Structure 1
Amino acid sequence: MNNDDRELLNPETMLSIPLKKTDPVELYLPLRKLVASKYSESHAQKVESVLETLNKCRRDMVERRGGLSLPMQRDCLIHYFRCLSMVEPLFTSISSDADSILFVWYDAFNPDHQDGVSSQRSAIQLEKAAVVFNLGAICSQIAASCDRTTALGRHLAMEAFKVAANFFLQLWKVFAKDVVSATLDLTPLFAQFLRHLFSAQASELELREQLNNNDAGDALQQHRCALAFRSVYKRYRRAYELMRTDSAARKHVDSFDQTWVTHVYQKVKFFEAEARQRHSSILPESEQPDVFSRVKSCALDHDAECVTEILVRRICRLSRRSKLGPSQVYVDLILSEYSPFKIMKDGKLVAYPWDMPPPYPTNSAILSSLMSSSSSSSYSDILAFLPLKKSEPLNLYESLRNYFVLKYSESVAKRVEGLLQTLHKLRIEMLRDDLSLPFRRDCLILYFKCLCMIEPFFPMNASPNPPIFVWYNAINPQQHSSQHNIHLEKASVLFNLGALCTHIALSCDQGTIQGYRLAIDALNNAAHWFDQLSVFESLNASGTIDLSEPYIDRVVEQFSGLKLKFCGLQPCGSSLPGYLALTYFPRTSELLAYDPSDVTEQFLLGYCKAHYLLERVCEAPCLDLLSEVSPVKIEDGNLVANATLKAPNSALENMSLQETTLQ
């Protein structure tokens, strides 16, 4: 490969796009009037917090954009998109005599207000399409701003380009088709071009990782590289063909930056030549492996930057295997201390500002109304075998930090110190018996994520004093297991998450729609955690009997019967007055019952759809580590404990809701 070829593989030559600009618009007053006139004043009061946050997010998007970091701009856009999805049904009700809402968006590649092209429509489809475009654009800018000379920077850039491509895929398939006479950058063909461009750039970075770790003597590695070159070539070729097909788009791009077309064309020619040259390295079908693994992390005995990369990759792997369905967001909307949207007393929806750090205060009134001892008494025999597991205290921070110092260096330990502090703090919090069910669940989930990040460093053979995890049998506390095995810790946390969600479900009053939904979602949530325990951890844990596969199978069997009894109490759309409308989620084959005459129900339905899009399709957990509201954050390649973790202590001190005792 000559120097010119190497230059083409240089990740510094990556393209990103500007954000679309818009004019200010007042949303709160006309939407509140609309809710009050269509529903009632009481309905307007229930959702005014969402309307206020919607207005604030759009104002921040217009006025504060220049003063915000790229991750903060992404956070603002995501929060605004959720709010926008919640109010979307209102726009179908806007009459000619109502206060007009006029959205004005300018072309991203020609934003000059005097000579540029604007699109003015009083339709929310334009607003959502423009926000999705900007989410893709901001992710492309995050990718381009990463230090791609490091493995961690390349990984973040690769994930950000993939997310950008996913947003433009959604723009192409879903949002752009409903926008008539919009600016050129919102046409389906142009969105398709941007999707293939950013997908090609992500693939190129992934290929670079393969080349860095390539063993010239390994036939399988050569085979993978040959396939990767061919894949990257096809993606760049598709992007270039789309640009040539759309002459207006090509002229448009040329007016923005005349080097774009040349750049993409050079990429096509380079990867085409490389793919042909490496074609002979492709193994015969009989010698090809059944499954190709993704790019692997660096070796564990590498430098500090590699250690951070390993930790970040683990959180991405966890996310890919443990996605929750859209129906289970109801648990977070009511219970989670970290949810930006909360359902309060009498169905009131509260939306916290996107830049307000978690945890958010919990209103115990709705929880007390949902928790009913009579609803759980008939199932007390089923619950009796699912108490939470107990564990001995453990100073994880000291043992893990000493390991990183001995195995690597003091500088490596400093780079991951924030994660170790967070890990230690969360383990202490999750063992507290005085926590409310919601807060304990949050601590367990965050702690499990941190455990997955450090798992590659176990067993800690280089440490003279590795941590010893001690867990007691949930059914027979006289039995315990004491091991260095991190899978015992992970399995025990998953067991407690499943048991805790079952407690929540059994504590709910199914006489109300919210109590019923919360119970069903909590049971779905519990099934998810037990499934994770059974599939990924039980065989490796080799701990107490309650973690064994036969015992888990019995739990799941009885648990399934419990879920059927709950579903039998309140079948969707039949025994709940007014809840006759159903919407279908094709990805999970689930029906969500809602009341079309209740504006909060309409908002919740919109939130579920937005959650489905963002969580299932368009977000990467490693990008969340750049967020200002992430408990663990990446700063200059280091993993630091974010200031938001200081908040739980004050929340705990002021918390009046204690864990429900079930008889």
Structure 2
Amino acid sequence: MSNVNPNPERVLAIPVKKSDPVGLYRPLRKFVATKYSESDAQKVESILETLNNCRRDMVERGDLSLPMQRDCLVHYFKCLCMVEPLFTAISSDADADPIIFVWYDAFSSERENGVSSQRNSIQLEKAAVIFNLGAICSQIGASCDRTTALGRHLAMDAFNAAANFFYKLWKVFAKDVSATLDLTLLFAESLHRLFSAQASELNLQQRLHHNNTNEDASSAQQQHQCAVGFESVSKLYRMAFDLILSDSAATKLVGSFDESWITHLSRKVKFFEGEARQRQSSILPNSKRPKTLSLVQSCRLDHDAESVTEKLVRGICCMISLLQSCLDHDVNPVLEKNTRKFCKSRDMSIPKHHRIPYLDLLLSEYSSFKIIDNGKLVSSPWNMPPPYPINLAILSASSFSDMLAIPLKKSEPLDLYHPLHSYVALEYSESEAKRVEGLFQMLHKLRSEMQRDDLSLPIRRDCLIRYFKCLCMVEPLFPMTNSPSPPIFVWYNAFNPQENSSQHNIHLEKASVLFNLGALCTHITLSCDLTTDQGLHLAVDTLNDASYWFFILWKHEAEKASATIDLSVNCVELLREIITAQIDELKWNYPPSHCNSHSYRSSLPAYPVAQHYRKAYDMSTFGPLAENLVQSSIPQFLESKKKTCLVKTGSSVTEQFLLGYCEAQSLLQEGCQTSCLDLFSVVGSFKIKDGNLVANLRGSNVAIVGDEVPGDHTTTLYSLIFQF
């Protein structure tokens, strides 16, 4: 570089907003009991208690670590979204007890300067919490050790999350809030640009570091990418700088907080604009640019990872981020044109994977919120994570006996721990192998458990999901070409158990797990009680989840697996067509009173349901697929499928809370909760402790089906990453 990057080691972070204490439990519970009933108040009092405790700890506890503050704020935000209908009702009720929120400007050193308070304004409260989530993420990013590839990657994820939170503040939450200067639209946008710039700068550093160690660094594409990178970073810093300077109040606010901010941004703008101009000639014309562009939400670690820990972290961060991002095309339109054409030509809807709120609330051991007997909503304290005991009351006999359950694939037992441990010891060192042995032990344990037929459906589902995440982590180690004894995966055809596929290919393993996740969801659907409101939600959500897993199988793993016909693209298309028909059938049979409030019922006539079934039947009667399915119940199911049934449902204050929960889940997963940041969470599935990658079962001495899983289950911080 011809110029020296000013303060490359310095990144900007912002303080959190402060607030005065306020009691929420008593006035909200009193309102629910008065306007609804005492029974309704009892059903939601756990949520109200958690809401109150989270706000108290958010305001009064100064001893929380950054990851714990983030977990507390996320938990509190979900609770806020759940209770929002109560605040809307209270604001128009003169007899209700007023709730007044008081917030102070984050950049003002004196509390009395810059106070914002609004009666019953949950909009102010949500805006302040979103601001603080962005602020905490900015502090996490600044605290990372950015001298390592892993530290840079974690910092990028943190700054990207901060930028996304401030984007939400700018576009959604600050619009209707009359508040302090730090919550204005202009300032929210400037913070969004600032942290986007810092994330992009780290991304560029990562790319330059990779180019310096790559033999092909002089290629036109490499130079093009770097030139575009400098241009992109310069624009982001310029927008942040200009936005702050365009408003005298904002300039004064930043100057009173830290006078060096303006100078720092000015130097960054000058440096990156200069470098962008010098590299302008390296930008390729459109005809010579690479056809596929990588995601910018979460950039990869260096290809030559500094340790096996970083390699495994890269596996899950890149893979899971890719899978989630490519499905939510309203947020991140990254599906290639041919993929869209492929889906459109087959009338295959691409599902949005917003983590299926009802499915987790009813089935998952590890959801922070849960529905238990008689529709009662309960919440785990944010600092005392689950698991909950699984509630199987919802899984009673189905009133829809003609739903299809897809059979699961079977596999031969396999020892994964020893070949993986030996390979890492051979390729890296014995000490490196010890650093990740907790993950390998977890991987081996989960594989053994996922094939157990005696497990309940919810536990088996959780087991498969966790095992798939583990597979994503170890995928960078495959193919284990130098290993004396690489693992051999053996899987049987789900529809013709006499056929099997035996390979070293990890994609066969991943494809089979995805198939079983989709199939397992259809078994859950079959067991749902469709005479209840929760049962209907659960049935639709599980079928949507099944469609999601089969879509991932088709999109990413089917062609790589080269396995039995049940994992073929044609078979996966057929299964998704059947699932789509069943989803439409369930939605069509919702009564009007339910559909009006939840927008579930289709506005189309009933004939598309029959059309989907007819199309699926035609697909099942041609070629090798027809021969394989002859032993299954699918042909008979499709041929006999003729009618549906109506059910009765109701609505309650619990339903209003659940709608808010769905909104919070959707918002937080649109770029604000990345896979890499889960390594910071107290309730994350995997953690880094003293440089070791360990499995965290969210609590000490937690067992999967009775046996304690080996590995470190503590919730301490990560000395490798942070320099507190």
Q: Using structure 1 for the length normalisation, give the TM-score.
A: 0.90
Change (3 A) 1:542 1:578: closer
Looking at structure 1, the residues matched to 546 and 432 of structure 2 have their Cα atoms a distance apart, in angstroms, of: 37
| Cα distance change, pair 634–653 in 1 and its aligned pair in 2 (3 A) | closer
Alpha-carbon distance in structure 2 between the residues aligned to 1:580 and 1:217 = 60
Query: Structure 1 stretch 55-64 or stretch 43-52: which is displaced more?
Result: 55-64
Instruction: Report SS of the residue matched to 1:519.
Output: helix
In structure 2, what is the Cα distance between the partners aligned to 1:594 and 1:190?
Answer: 49
Q: Where does residue 426 of structure 1 map in the other structure?
A: 446
Q: Which residue of 1 aligns with 2:138?
A: 140
Letter in 2 for 1:5: V
What is the rounded CA distance, in whole Å, between the counterparts of 2:292 and 2:495 in structure 1? 40
Task: Work out the CA distance in 1 between the residues paired with 2:327 and 2:431.
Answer: 33
Counterpart code for 2:322? R
Contact 1:305 1:637 in 2 (8 A): yes
1:392-416: CA deviations, max 9, x gaps? 2222111111111111112322332
Work out the CA distance in 2 between the residues paired with 1:579 and 1:291. 41
Residue 337, structure 1, aligned to residue 387, structure 2: no
Q: Name the structure where helix makes up a greater proportion of residues.
A: 1
The letter of the residue matching 1:581 is S
Pick which of 432-441 and 554-563 moved more: 554-563
The worse-fitting range, judged by mean Cα deviation, of 438-447 and 540-549 is 540-549
Deviation of 1:225 after TM superposition, in Å, equals 0.5
2:528 paired residue number = 508
Q: CA deviation at 1:160?
A: 0.7
Give, in whole Å, the separation in 2 of the partners of 1:547 and 1:152: 35
The 1:594–1:612 alpha-carbon spacing in structure 2 relative to 1, beyond 3 Å, is: farther
Given the superposition, is the C-alpha separation of residues 631 and 582 from structure 1 closer, same or farther in structure 2, using an over 3 Å criterion? closer
Contact 2:149-2:306 within 8 A present in 1 as well: no
SS in 1 for 2:175: helix
CA contact (8 A) 1:501 1:523 kept: yes
Q: What are the superposed Cα offsets for residues 121-148 of structure 1, whole Å, 9 maximum, x if unpaired?
A: 1211111010000000000000000000
Sort the Cα spacing of 1:102 and 1:273 in 2 relative to 1 into closer, same or farther, 3 A: same
* Partner Cα distance (1:524, 1:466) in 2: 36
RMSD: 2.4
Write out aligned runs for 1:629-640 (5 A).
Answer: 629-640=683-694
- 1:553 aligned counterpart, secondary structure: helix
**Deviation (angstroms), 1:103:** 0.8
d(CA) in 1 for partners of 2:219, 2:308: 27
Q: Structure 2 residue aligned with 1:158, among 140, 156, 159?
A: 156
The equivalent position to 2:557 in structure 1, one of 521, 537, 540, is 537
- 1:190 is aligned to 187
Within the candidate set 654, 660, 680, 1:626 is matched to 680
* Distance change in 2, residues 1:77/1:638 (3 Å): same
Cα distance per residue 1:338-389 (max 9 Å; x no partner): 1111111221111111122232222233x24xx215532x34xx43xx2111
**Contact 1:579–1:594 (CA under 8 A) maintained in structure 2:** no
Does residue 1:5 correspond to 2:4, yes or no? Answer: yes
Q: Distance in 2 between matches of 1:650 and 1:290?
A: 45
Matched, 1:92 2:88: yes
Residue pair 1:581, 1:595 contacting (<8 A) in 2 also:
no
Q: CA deviation at 1:545?
A: 2.5
C-alpha deviation, 1:650, in angstroms: 6.7
What is the CA-CA distance between 1:117 and the residue it aligns to? 2.2
Indicate yes or no: 2:566 matched with 1:546: yes
Q: Indicate how the Cα distance of structure 1 residues 246 and 456 shifts in structure 2: closer, same or farther if over 3 A, else same.
A: same
Give the equivalent residue in structure 2 for 1:580: 596
| 1:317 equivalent among 301, 322, 327 | 322
Q: CA deviation at 1:596?
A: 9.4
Partner Cα distance (1:452, 1:282) in 2:
34
- What code does the residue aligned with 1:42 have? S
Cα distance change of structure 1 residues 325 and 483 upon mapping to structure 2, 3 Å threshold = closer
Task: For 1:499 and 1:297, locate their aligned partners in 2 and report how far apart those are by CA, in whole Å.
Answer: 34
| Amino acid corresponding to residue 391 of structure 2 in structure 1 | N
CA drift at 1:315: 3.9
Distance 1:314 1:539 in 2: 17
1:486 is matched with 506
Deviation for aligned residue 1:210: 1.1
Once the two structures are TM-superposed, the CA of residue 643 in structure 1 deviates from its matched residue by: 5.0
The residue type equivalent to 2:136 in the other structure is I
CA contact (8 A) 2:5 2:271 kept: no
1:596–1:514 distance in 2 versus 1, CA, 3 Å: closer
Within 5 Å, give how 1:2-401 maps onto structure 2.
5-8=4-7, 10=8, 12-64=9-61, 66-94=62-90, 95-113=93-111, 115-122=112-119, 123-180=121-178, 182-214=179-211, 215-293=216-294, 296-300=300-304, 303-304=307-308, 306-311=310-315, 312-321=317-326, 324-326=352-354, 328-365=356-393, 367-368=394-395, 371-376=396-401, 378-379=402-403, 382-383=404-405, 386-401=406-421
Note closer, same or farther for the CA distance 1:296–1:101 as it changes in structure 2 (3 Å cut).
closer
Give 1:476 deviation, angstroms.
Answer: 2.2
What is the distance in 1 between the residues matched to 2:301 and 2:284?
24
Report the Cα offset of residue 327 of structure 1.
Answer: 8.1
- Count of residues in correspondence between the two structures: 629
Identify if the C-alpha distance between structure 1 residues 594 and 259 changes in structure 2 by more than 3 Å, giving closer, same or farther: farther
Q: Judging changes above 3 Å, is the alpha-carbon distance between structure 1 residues 43 and 116 closer, same or farther for their aligned structure 2 residues? A: same
Does the 8 A contact of 1:219 with 1:281 survive in 2? yes
- Percent identity at matched positions? 60
Once the two structures are TM-superposed, the CA of residue 279 in structure 1 deviates from its matched residue by 0.8
Q: Tell me the amino acid that sits aligned with residue 356 of structure 1.
A: M
Q: Could you say what secondary structure the match of 1:68 adopts?
A: coil
Change over 3 Å in CA distance of 1:242–1:119 after alignment to 2? same
1:322 positional shift: 5.3
In 1: Cα distance, 2:460 partner to 2:45 partner: 30
Structure 2 counterpart of 1:588: none
Q: Give the counterpart letter for 2:397 in structure 1.
A: S
> CA–CA distance in 2 between the matches of 1:326 and 1:650?
26
* Matched AA of 1:44: A
3-state DSSP of counterpart to 1:471: strand
Q: Does 1:607 align with 2:661?
A: yes
Residue 431 of structure 2 is aligned with which of 398, 411, 414? Answer: 411
Q: Distance in 2 between matches of 1:557 and 1:584?
A: 19
Deviation at 1:33, TM superposition (A): 0.4
Unaligned 5+ segments in structure 2 are 329-351, 602-646, 709-724
d(CA) in 1 for partners of 2:671 and 2:649? Answer: 27
Mean Cα deviation higher: 473-482 or 294-303: 294-303
Whether contact under 8 Å (1:298, 1:306) holds in the other structure is no
Deviation at 1:618, TM superposition (A): 1.6
Q: After alignment, is 255-264 or 596-605 more displaced?
A: 596-605
Letter in 2 for 1:76: C
Change (3 A) 1:177 1:197: same
Structure 2 residue matching 1:5: 3-state secondary structure: coil
What SS does structure 1 have at the residue aligned with 2:667? helix
